[in-house]
């Protein structure tokens, strides 16, 4: 499926139209011209509940696939964008391959043509992982793009579906746009649908309908070209082709399965068996494509076995999250981004001139702050959501960033990037082992991590997820915590911990001055320890309570402790303060990270 597709240039299109090649999946292009587009105005009525969050709109797939639910939202987006941005523009379309994406692609194409878009770039078969979509938007100078995904959530007719719009820099649309979309969903009464047939998305090439054009592109091409500019592929290849190095990448039957073989195997020379679950499926083979210790159970078993590979990694549904493992060793996302940042200048050519700045989401452990201090660069603490990082990147103040929810990235795109994080770790490993002879004692993931702790200290960190809770009791719990934080005073005792401050995190964007309020209730202690509670907006129904626990340890003799053991006293205090079991009825979390 992922064989190379030639990009359709005017010359290539003309040759194809004269019968210069077969219309096959082997990579030749096609051009098909149709009559001028006729636009039909289809009556519709507003649908409740189409409020767009930081990660777009997510609901059950059955909701999106019924009636005009998707069409209403897409039409509202076109109405919300400045007319000059839409008329005559180019846009991008792709997604994670989940159920309903194929049908949704055709609806979006018809609405795009009906609303004045001139050209749509679509990943073959509707495929584009989220970071690749950002890369295509930037490479093709598009005004923006649609990403069809519910990220790490399950897929299938009874599971989740989602859509978001990324703007011209490749970053998720800002709040002023998502708020405007929601406003139009409450009044939309007409859909501008082009009267065109469905487009064959299985073959790369161009289809023209009058002034409207659809170009189906290889979903890997633009992204791979960008990665080659970021990393030293020869250096990474020297590691992956060593006789004594083994890796395993678990694509979890999600979108990065379409990228893993072309990148890791075909280009970088990894053994074909190093990629598992590499065929994308509409329902992710019934799995939950969230790369953590619970849902990536198959990879975890392999990496904690007697004959474990040297390096393991997994990615999520839409390819923007990652999990990194060594031989019998797990790297927390908070540590991962810090270690990448600490080694970036030496190991990754893209950063050879230095880092502009670093940033992390507020719940993410402060390991990155210590690296920033050591390097003498800015470090920003932002709300959860990649758009906040995008503003800093566009202003030239941010190079590497991450979120504890297994998202890591850099300013090569404006999204978190799972394969990028994997390649960053492979770059570090390749650099550290460049002079180690085959059969010699290799430097592994665990050694690199422990050396990092010895230099910067260890931020013990854990996240407890309570998924699928009833929304009202969760909201009541958060309100109770806000009241306790407001009443708390510096010096208050919480067991053996002394309070420094407690608040509901608020962020003023240093670039555009926008203010984000109520981003998570945090209790921070004088030794740097803290616990945080927030409700996640990444699900399609109910509420997910997230509890974050962090404690700093400078003493190398104590850094090897199990995180749950080290954090146990603070976890007990957090649960008691929040009264989580009382409010939610949950005695234990769904997932512990």
pLDDT of the residue at 387: 86
Strands 407-410 and 521-525: what pairing? unpaired
Q: How far apart are CA 97 and CA 105, in angstroms?
A: 11
What does the DSSP 8-state code read for residue 403? E
Give me the residue label for tokens 């660069």. 377
Q: How far apart are CA 4 and CA 15, in angstroms?
A: 18
What does the DSSP 8-state code read for residue 172? B
Cβ-based neighbours of 112, under 8 Å, separated by 6 or more: 78, 91, 93, 120, 194, 212
Give the Cβ contact number of residue 293 at 10 Å.
Answer: 15
Q: How far apart are CA 182 and CA 80, in angstroms?
A: 9
Q: Are 450 and 164 in contact (CB under 8 A)?
A: no
Cβ-based neighbours of 204, under 8 Å, separated by 6 or more: 5, 6, 7, 8, 27, 28, 29, 30, 124, 216, 217, 218
Cβ-based neighbours of 468, under 8 Å, separated by 6 or more: 539, 541, 542, 543, 544, 590
Q: In what order do the strands lie in the sheet with 407-410?
A: 378-382, 357-361, 400-403, 407-410
- How many CA atoms are closer than 13 Å to the CA of 109, on its beta-carbon side? 30
Q: How far apart are CA 222 and CA 136, in angstroms?
A: 6
What does the DSSP 8-state code read for residue 312? E
Cβ-based neighbours of 237, under 8 Å, separated by 6 or more: 267, 268, 269
Q: How far apart are CA 279 and CA 262, in angstroms?
A: 12
Burial class (CB in 10 A: 0-12, 13-18, 19+), 457: middle
Q: How far apart are CA 497 and CA 504, in angstroms?
A: 19
Whole-model pTM? Answer: 0.90
pLDDT of the residue at 194: 97
pLDDT of the residue at 541: 55
pLDDT of the residue at 76: 97
Which parts of the chain have pLDDT scores under 50?
Answer: 1-29, 540
Q: How far apart are CA 419 and CA 392, in angstroms?
A: 22
pLDDT of the residue at 175: 86
- Reduced to 3 states (helix: H, G, I; strand: E, B; else coil), residue 488 is coil
- How many CA atoms are closer than 13 Å to the CA of 17, on its beta-carbon side? 14
Active site amino acids: 151
């Amino acid at each position: 499926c992922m064989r190379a597709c030639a990009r359709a240039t005017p010359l290539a299109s003309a040759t194809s139209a004269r019968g210069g090649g077969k219309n096959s999946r082997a990579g030749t292009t096609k051009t098909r011209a149709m009559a001028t587009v006729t636009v039909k105005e289809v009556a519709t009525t507003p649908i409740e509940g189409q409020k767009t969050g930081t990660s777009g709109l997510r609901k059950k797939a059955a909701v999106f696939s019924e009636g005009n639910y998707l069409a209403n939202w897409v039409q509202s987006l076109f109405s919300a964008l400045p007319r000059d941005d839409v008329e005559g523009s180019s846009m991008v379309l792709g997604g994670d391959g989940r159920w309903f994406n194929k049908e949704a692609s055709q609806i979006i194409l018809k609405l795009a043509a009906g609303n004045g878009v001139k050209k749509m770039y679509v990943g073959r078969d509707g495929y584009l992982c989220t970071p690749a979509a950002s890369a295509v938007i930037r490479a093709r100078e598009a005004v923006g793009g649609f990403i069809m995904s519910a990220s790490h959530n399950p897929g299938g007719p009874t599971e989740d579906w989602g859509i978001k719009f990324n703007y011209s820099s490749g970053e998720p649309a800002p709040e002023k746009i998502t708020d405007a979309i929601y406003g139009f969903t409450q009044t939309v009464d007409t859909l501008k649908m082009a009267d065109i047939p469905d487009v064959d998305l299985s073959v790369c090439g161009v289809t023209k309908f009058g002034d409207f054009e659809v170009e189906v592109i290889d979903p890997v091409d633009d992204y791979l070209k960008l990665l080659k500019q970021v990393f030293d592929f020869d250096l990474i290849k020297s590691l992956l082709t060593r006789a004594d190095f083994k890796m395993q990448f678990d694509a979890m039957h999600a979108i990065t399965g379409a990228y893993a073989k072309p990148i890791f195997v075909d280009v970088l020379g990894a053994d074909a068996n190093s990629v598992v679950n590499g065929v994308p499926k509409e329902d992710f083979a019934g799995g939950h494509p969230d790369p953590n210790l619970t849902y990536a159970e198959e990879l975890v078993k392999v990496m904690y076995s007697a004959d474990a590979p040297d390096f393991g990694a997994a990615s999520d549904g839409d390819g923007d999250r990652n999990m990194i493992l060594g031989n019998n060793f797990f790297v927390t996302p908070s540590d991962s981004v810090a270690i990448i940042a600490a080694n970036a200048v030496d190991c990754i050519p893209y950063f050879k001139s230095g880092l502009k700045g670093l940033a992390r989401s507020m719940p993410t452990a402060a390991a990155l702050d210590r690296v920033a201090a050591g390097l003498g660069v800015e470090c920003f603490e932002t709300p959860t959501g990649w758009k906040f990082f995008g503003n800093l990147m566009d202003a030239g103040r941010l190079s590497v960033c991450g979120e504890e929810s297994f998202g890591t990235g850099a300013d090569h795109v404006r999204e978190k990037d799972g394969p990028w994080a994997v390649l960053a770790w492979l770059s570090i490993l390749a650099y550290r082992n460049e002079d180690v002879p085959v059969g010699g004692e290799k430097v592994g993931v665990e050694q690199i991590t422990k050396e990092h702790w010895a230099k910067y200290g260890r931020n013990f960190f854990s996240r407890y997820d309570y998924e699928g809770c009833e929304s009202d009791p969760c909201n009541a719990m958060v309100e109770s915590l806000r009241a306790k934080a407001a009443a708390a005073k510096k010096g208050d005792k919480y067991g053996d911990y002394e309070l420094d401050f407690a608040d509901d995190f608020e962020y003023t964007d240093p670039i555009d001055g926008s203010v984000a309020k109520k981003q998570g209730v945090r209790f921070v202690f004088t030794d740097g320890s803290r616990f945080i509670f927030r409700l996640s907006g990444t699900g399609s129904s109910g509420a997910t309570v997230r509890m974050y626990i962090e404690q700093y340890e400078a003493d190398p003799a104590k850094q090897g402790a199990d995180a749950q053991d080290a954090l146990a006293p603070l976890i007990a205090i957090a649960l008691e303060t929040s009264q989580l079991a009382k409010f939610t009825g949950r005695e234990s979390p769904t997932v512990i990270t």
